[in-house]
Structures are given as C-alpha cells and as structure tokens.
C-alpha cells in the first residue's frame, strides 16, 4: 500500500497524473503561496548555476523537473548566448514551458530523471527547482545528473527545506493547512496540494541532502538557507576538474 505523502511510497504514474492536473494553475498558485518570493529564489538559483559554470563561450544548462519552465526562462534572460534543456515527465507542464521559452536556444524533453537521454559530460551546469523532494530515488537521480555534467560543473537544487526550532511548527501549519486552501482558492485541487505540502515533512534534513550530493561525486557542497530556513539552495561541483 503506497504512502500518500512520502514520495518513496507513491507510484510515479500517480505523481505524474497529479502534476498533469495542477499544470494549468501551477504558476498562479506558486506565486500566491510564496507571495512572489519564488521568483527571487529562482533568480538566485540561476545565478548560482551560471556563476559556477566554467565553460567559455556558449554554455549548456540542464533544468531537471523543469515544470512550467520558469528556471529555463530565467537562464535565457541571464545568459544571452546559452542553450537550455528542460526535462520533465509531465507533458502538460512541458507544453507550458515550450510556450514560455519559445526560441531556438531552448528544448524540452519528456524523460525520467533516472534515465536521462543525453550523452556523458555535455552540460555546464544543472538545476532542480522544487522537484527534488518528489523524487522517489534521489541518490539514483543525482548519479544520473552527475553522468551528464562536465567535470567541475555545478548542480544547484532549490527546495522547500525542513525548518528547525521555532519555525518548524510555523512551517508545518502553513504547508499542511494554509497551502491546500490557497490552492483551492486559485482553482487547484486541495488534495493535490496536501500531498505537495506534506512531502516537506518527509524531505531529508540539510546534512542528509549534502551527504547525498557528496556520495554522488559532488565536492564543495554547501547550503544557502532562505526564508528563515524554510527554503534552501544546496549546491556542489562535480569532482574531477583540476
């Protein structure tokens, strides 16, 4: 029997169906839930990836679980000469992303993050934005991302982190009680956002996430907490560069 809240116990096809249902309202609900701060967080994510990329000339960026394409669009704004590839397993999300990032410098691929359809060592940086906690095998995904990155390339993950101390009950109340109500107000299904909110409670703590990065071959792993520790960017460089 699958656990409705823990990604490890939820069948991928059911998660895919859920994201298909929320796709049409996804951007609006995200802005409402975060008060627009998610735009700032994504800019910081992209800045970290771009500044960490070592290649000269045209850079190739990979966004995993790209959703509606916000991070890919930010890459295109940030670096006028780059090429961006977005990967997601939800065709409805990819359709929105293609419209948002129309142009020759972007492509969007329907694929599983554990089986990326790319050659080894071709990307200069990779990002994941609010998707990592939904992966049911995070170490396998990190290893596959490492495979397609160049040596020294950064991986930057923006995610809802588990708050500690005084902010832990605040986060739990907001994510489990307020978020489903906000989603319903803007046209979403409250049950879908109950799942998305409760996955936060199953998300590993900072030290565990950093260890996953290290175990997958990333070095100089660090975490940048934001919003009183309720959101964070974890980043590392793929080992192998001199």
Bigger pLDDT: 156 or 170?
A: 156
pLDDT at 1 (0 to 100): 37
Q: Does 19 map to a domain?
A: yes
- Is 127:113 a contact under the CB 8 Å cutoff? no
- Return the CATH number at 77: 3.40.50.150
Q: Which residue has the tokens 């009680």?
A: 177
Q: Are strands 218-226 and 125-129 parallel, antiparallel or unpaired?
A: unpaired
Q: Is residue 120 part of a domain?
A: yes
Residue-level pLDDT at 105: 93
In a domain, 177, yes or no: no
pTM as predicted: 0.90
The encoded tokens of residue 155 equal 């991986």
**Structural domain contains residue 137:** yes
Domain coverage including residue 230: 9-162+204-238
Structurally, how many domains does the chain consist of?
1
What confidence score (pLDDT) does residue 63 get? 98
Residue 9 pLDDT > 70, yes or no? no
Q: Is residue 131 part of a domain?
A: yes
Q: Could you tell me if residue 133 is inside a domain? A: yes
In a domain, 175, yes or no: no
Q: Does residue 102 belong to any structural domain of this protein?
A: yes
């Amino acid at each position: 029997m699958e656990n409705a809240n823990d990604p490890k116990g939820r069948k991928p096809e059911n998660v895919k169906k859920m994201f298909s249902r929320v796709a049409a309202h996804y951007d609006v609900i995200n802005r409402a839930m975060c008060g627009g701060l998610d735009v700032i967080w994504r800019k910081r994510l992209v800045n970290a990836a771009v500044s960490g990329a070592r290649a000269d000339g045209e850079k190739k960026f990979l966004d995993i679980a790209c959703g509606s394409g916000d991070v890919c669009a930010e890459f295109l704004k940030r670096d006028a000469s780059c090429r961006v590839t977005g990967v997601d397993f939800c065709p409805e999300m990819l359709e929105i992303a293609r419209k948002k990032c129309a142009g020759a410098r972007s492509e969007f691929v329907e694929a599983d993050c554990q089986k990326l359809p790319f050659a080894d060592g071709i990307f200069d940086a990779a990002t994941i934005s609010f998707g990592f906690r939904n992966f049911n095998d995070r170490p396998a995904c990190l290893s596959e991302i490492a495979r397609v990155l160049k040596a020294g390339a950064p991986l930057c993950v923006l995610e809802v982190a588990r708050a500690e101390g005084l902010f832990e009950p605040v986060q739990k109340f907001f994510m489990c009680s307020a978020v489903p109500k906000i989603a319903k107000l803007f046209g979403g299904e409250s049950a879908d956002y109950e799942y998305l909110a409760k996955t936060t409670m199953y998300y590993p703590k900072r030290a565990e996430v950093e260890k996953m990065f290290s175990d997958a071959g990333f070095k100089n792993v660090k975490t940048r907490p934001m919003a009183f520790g309720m959101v964070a960017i974890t980043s590392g460089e793929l080992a192998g560069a001199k």
